[in-house]
Amino acid sequence: MFVLTNSSAANYLPGTAMDPLRIYVAELAGKGINITLNNQSVFCLDNEGFRYQCGMKNDKFKAEFKNFEENFKKSWTKSREVIFELFKAVTLVQGHTAAESTSISEARIIIQTLMGPLAKVCTIIEEEMSKSVKETQIQSLMENGNLIKKEIAIEKFEHPQCVCLSCAAKTKNNPKNAETQIEFTQICHKRCILPDTVPEKFPEPKLIDCAAFDGQGKCQKCGCHYLKHIRITQKTIQKILQKPKAPILSRKKAEEIYSKLLSTLQSEQTFVWETVIQLAKYLQTNAIVDFNPLFVDKLKIEIEKQHLSLGSSSDVVDKLQRRLQNFETQTKMVEAALENMQISEISEINIQTIFNKIISLKIHGSIVKQFL
């Protein structure tokens, strides 16, 4: 049902609002949700009668709107009738099981919570499968008898920070404890507390209201445009786990062990990307929220960080960009299948199962948990 306000000028009809409403309903129909626009689904009213009720005891208000009193009375009467018609229509609608709404809501929360971690894990896996890391792992097996294993830690800031993505970032290494972290060298606002802004959304138009920027949207700290900035709440620290030395291995044996690791990485990589498509499919079939741009934004930030990180391997960036293009292509295929009603449904139970499988991945399940 749709409730349209400020409709007195159109004689309590939809007026110019009808065209965008038809377009929206047509989009819903493409997702399998059919709504008929008539007097049982569209209710037009106006709140000017209510405003008059609120201001009628104020002498200044009454004097200013004295000549409109009859219009206000008519608006009050008409809007009151429409409200009762709306209530009547609601009572006649077939009931919906509350538990179903709850489970859909829970599934939505799970999916939106997973978006950032999945984008991060996609990046980490590509890093671990890069040529440079492969050689590093083989050398470690030949010299120490062990694969290099990293532990991911999240350090949350006391307050969100506004940082510039255009200015250089650097990879900071601590030889004492083998910690590695990407640090943004240009922090433009250390206490960036803005309402209704999404952390790590890029670009974020609402950052124009951050104290770091002048009236033209130019950063007073670094000079870059506000759309080149991002608001972060934490930083990621990678720590290499130290293991006791084991018998050194020949290159042939080291390559065999790495080959097994690579097989596991490829398996988890395939599962993660298939999961991303499944989650996008669920949100699209249930017409909840568009997963595509939300996930794409997160992954683009990870790609940008790889660009900025000193020493980051270019093949990681290239592979992530190809993965991103493939994801966008597949989500378009999902949209096309939805329009033709040729797509199988995914239940809320499937979403919970997917979540459990993600956090149970042999190598990266614990990393996903860290980012949740």
Cα dist. 11→44, 47, 71 in Å? 9, 14, 12
**Which has the minimum average pLDDT: 59-63, 169-173, 198-202, 221-225?**
169-173
Q: Show which of 207, 242, 277 is a domain's final residue.
A: 242
Together in a domain, 368 and 324: yes
Together in a domain, 84 and 103: no
pTM: 0.60
Together in a domain, 118 and 256: yes
Together in a domain, 207 and 259: no
Virtual torsion, Cα 257, 259, 264, 269, nearest 10 deg: 140
Q: pLDDT per residue over 266-306, tens digit each?
A: 999 999 888 887 777 777 666 555 555 667 777 877 887 77
Residue 347 is predicted with a pLDDT of 65
**Which has the minimum average pLDDT: 61-65, 138-142, 313-317?**
313-317
Together in a domain, 202 and 105: no
Per the structure, the complete domain to which residue 319 belongs is given by: 97-146+248-372
- The answer to whether residue 263 scores a pLDDT higher than 90 is yes
Encoded tokens for 101: 């709404």
Together in a domain, 103 and 79: no
Together in a domain, 218 and 262: no
With pLDDT > 70 as the criterion, what percentage of the chain qualifies?
Answer: 82
Together in a domain, 219 and 304: no
**DSSP per-residue codes, 205-231:** GGGGGSTTB-TTSBBTTT--BGGGEEE
Q: Show which of 188, 216, 242 is a domain's final residue.
A: 242
Together in a domain, 221 and 261: no
Residues 56 and 66: beta-carbon distance below 8 Å: no
Encoded tokens for 27: 């989009």
Q: Show which of 60, 95, 130 is a domain's final residue.
A: 95
The CA distance from 52 to 58, in Å, is 10
Query: Per the structure, how many domains does the chain have?
Result: 3
